[in-house]
Amino acid sequence: MAPPQRSRVPLEFGGPLGAAALMLLLPATLVHLLLAARSAPAHLLAPPPALPAPGALWSPWALQLCLGWLGLQVALYLLPARKVAEGLQLKDKSRLLYPINGFQALVLTALLLGLGLWAGLPLDALADMLLPLAFAATLTAFVVSILLFVKSLMAHPSALAPGGNSGNPVYDFFLGRELNPRIISFDIKYFCELRPGLLGWVLINLALLMQEAKLRGSPSLAMCLVNGFQLLYVGDALWHEEAILTTMDIMHDGFGFMLAFGNLVWVPFTYSLQAQFLLHHPQPLGLPLAAGICLLNAVGYYIFRGANSQKNTFRKNPSDPSVAGLETIPTATGQQLLVSGWWGVVRHPNYLGDIIMALAWSLPCGVTHLLPYFYLLYFIALLLHREARDELQCLQKYGLAWQEYCQRVPYRIVPYVY
């Protein structure tokens, strides 16, 4: 087989050196955050009071729980789906099929959990195991990434993602070489993107809420808000599972360590940081402020969902009545760009809504500590970087049409600001 054509896409994330640094820094940052959240000072920028003993990181039981959780979600993914959706057209003009049964997996997981709790499952014990669980999940992410990299060496060149095929093994391992790695019809990236990590996130949140109820008699209003907001976010992602098929991760990015670690480790263990903080640092929250925070989250969700659904509907069927009247810019590829509606306000309205929700998730933790705002700060940095990556990809894809879009929609994320 001819050697794969090396992609000429510019290197990102600082190239091989940056990728190697991130593969060390991300797990170290995770350990720091987990230790800081449960420490009294809860300093984000200072070293945690005490480093964990090696024995505190490794637990065979935690690894079994991780693998068991993964196995359960794989089984739920393989159940008959209410619908099978087609992905966007690939380079070879084919379209992959994706089962749409994520919300079904959420409901079945909740039912199994309810049954377990009724039988006396000590779910709150998970709150005491976050460190070994995160270590086990990180180990799993590394093993999955190695297997994916080896698998990609046998993939056809047309199956490779433009980004993660530089020829440098460290960089390609991090970014991911194969665009849609599958085992028969099981899509590994699509599965990881929405199931084990997102559902694990809300499971950890619930365990933290239950432990707070055990400690203080009942969960605080702040803990209930954070759990509710983030359950809405995960439930929405799974209800609109099909919309992920038109996002960057599925369309452009290969599946390597970055997304494997991001999905399996970073999401469940750092996105639950507010709940972790609240368990160890109870925050008073009055009803008027709580009502204001709920309104803020609702505004963010309205923008997030409206923009994502509008673009996804338009991409799937431009003649759909809900988007047919929108103004568009034709491009040389045959695809059109929306230039009115949500996507006529700023070039990434969905990011704006998501950032507003991230702020609403942090506010119930009060303003005495920076740690609960880590997600907001990280997320803004992630989306700014992601927006720049996407702009480059769209400029390469659409050329003059994208330049016209940028002239007519000059702001990227925040109207009249950025």
Binding site for ligand LWLCTGZJ (CB under 6 A): 26, 193-194, 237, 244, 247, 249, 258, 261-263, 266-267
Of 280, 315, 316, 408, the residue at the interface with ligand NDP (CB under 6 A) is 315
375 contacts 361 by C-beta, under 8 angstroms: yes
Q: Is 187 or 249 the residue whose CB approaches ligand NDP more closely?
A: 249
Q: Tell me the site size for ligand NDP, rule CB under 6 A.
A: 23
The helix/strand/coil state of 186 is: strand
The helix/strand/coil state of 337 is: strand
* 57: amino acid identity, one letter: L
Say whether residue 308 binds ligand NDP (CB under 6 A): yes
12 binds, among ligand LWLCTGZJ, ligand NDP, none (CB under 5 to 8 A by kind): none
Give φ, ψ of 100 to 5 degrees. -105, 85
Which run of H or E residues covers position 69?
helix 60-77
338 binds, among ligand NDP, ligand LWLCTGZJ, none (CB under 5 to 8 A by kind): ligand NDP
Of 31, 161, 278, 337, the residue at the interface with ligand NDP (CB under 6 A) is 337
CB 197 → ligand LWLCTGZJ: shortest distance, Å? 7
311 binds, among ligand NDP, ligand LWLCTGZJ, none (CB under 5 to 8 A by kind): ligand NDP
Q: Is 248 or 332 the residue whose CB approaches ligand LWLCTGZJ more closely?
A: 248
CA–CA dist 47, 39 (Å, integer): 11
Closest Cα to residue 210, out of 120, 286, 270? 120
CA–CA dist 158, 164 (Å, integer): 13
CA atoms within 13 A on the CB side of 125: 8
CA–CA dist 160, 179 (Å, integer): 5
Say whether residue 280 binds ligand NDP (CB under 6 A): no
CB 332 → ligand NDP: shortest distance, Å? 12
Instruction: Give the largest Cα separation in the chain, rounded.
Output: 66
29 binds, among ligand LWLCTGZJ, ligand NDP, none (CB under 5 to 8 A by kind): none
Q: Is 166 or 263 the residue whose CB approaches ligand LWLCTGZJ more closely?
A: 263
CA–CA dist 393, 391 (Å, integer): 5
The helix/strand/coil state of 100 is: strand
* Sole window of 109-117, 136-144, 336-344, 362-370 interacting with ligand NDP (rule: CB under 6 A): 336-344
76 contacts 105 by C-beta, under 8 angstroms: yes
Say whether residue 69 binds ligand NDP (CB under 6 A): no
Chain residues that interact with ligand NDP, rule: CB under 6 A: 246-249, 251, 304, 308, 311, 314-315, 335, 337-338, 343, 348, 350-351, 354, 382, 386, 390, 393-394
